[in-house]
């Protein structure tokens, strides 16, 4: 199981990267850090700088077909920067086009909105995205984790760091399923 973790060069909420990363590793999978630029990603603990992490691949140079699933960690600045990068938006859209599962937590659904993939889907997020999701044609629910089978792939969403255990359990279950062709 090879899983992409997409994030901007800075602004990712560290625990929303490290806990899912560990879950993938513990399940015997291969997590791959994908960013919009080479180098290192600066993580944050809310508004305070935390650790940095090495970038494995650049979004514009790799396709969804190279992975079994996608994890989109949150943090406010991370998805806000990603949705302005066409390579990142195309990378996300590629997972939906190829029927691969996607997991997004906290503010990460912002990039899903930009990729135009939330319409007709039921999902959750940090509560401040509720109106954005509804305006994009999605149905927002206040649940710890939401698994939505829609179109050709599965979308797993979660609200916040307190929900990480349920989020990781849900996406690992979905990522282990065969990709529909």
For this structure, is 46 an active site residue?
no
Euclidean distance between CA atoms 40 and 23, whole angstroms: 21
The active-site residue out of 46, 106, 148, 168 is: 106
CA dihedral for 170, 175, 176, 178, sign (positive or negative): positive
For this structure, is 107 an active site residue?
yes
The active-site residue out of 46, 107, 148, 168 is: 107
Q: Tell me the DSSP string of 57-94.
A: EEGGG--GGG-SEEEE---SHHHHHHTT-HHHHHHHHH
Euclidean distance between CA atoms 113 and 44, whole angstroms: 23
Helix (H, G, I), strand (E, B) or coil at 118: coil
For residue 9, give the nearest of 34, 31, 32 by alpha carbon: 34
- Is the Cβ–Cβ distance between 130 and 106 less than 8 Å? no
**Catalytically active residues, by annotation:** 106-107
């Amino acid at each position: 199981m090879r899983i992409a973790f997409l994030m901007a060069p800075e602004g990712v909420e560290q625990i929303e990267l490290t806990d899912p990363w560990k879950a993938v590793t513990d399940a015997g999978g291969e997590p791959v850090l994908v960013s919009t630029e080479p180098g290192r990603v600066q993580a944050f603990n809310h508004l305070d700088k935390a650790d940095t992490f090495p970038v494995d691949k650049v979004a514009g140079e790799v396709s969804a077909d190279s992975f079994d699933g996608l994890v989109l960690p949150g943090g406010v600045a991370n998805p806000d920067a990603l949705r302005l990068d066409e390579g990142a938006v195309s990378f996300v859209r590629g997972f939906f086009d190829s029927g691969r599962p996607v997991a997004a937590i906290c503010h990460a659904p912002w990039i899903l909105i930009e990729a135009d993939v939330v319409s007709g889907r039921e999902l959750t997020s940090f509560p401040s995205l509720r109106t954005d999701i509804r305006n994009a044609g999605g149905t927002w629910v206040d649940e710890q984790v939401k698994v939505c089978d829609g179109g050709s792939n599965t979308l797993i969403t979660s609200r916040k760091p307190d929900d990480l255990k349920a989020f990781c359990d849900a996406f690992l279950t979905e990522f282990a399923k065969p990709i529909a062709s």
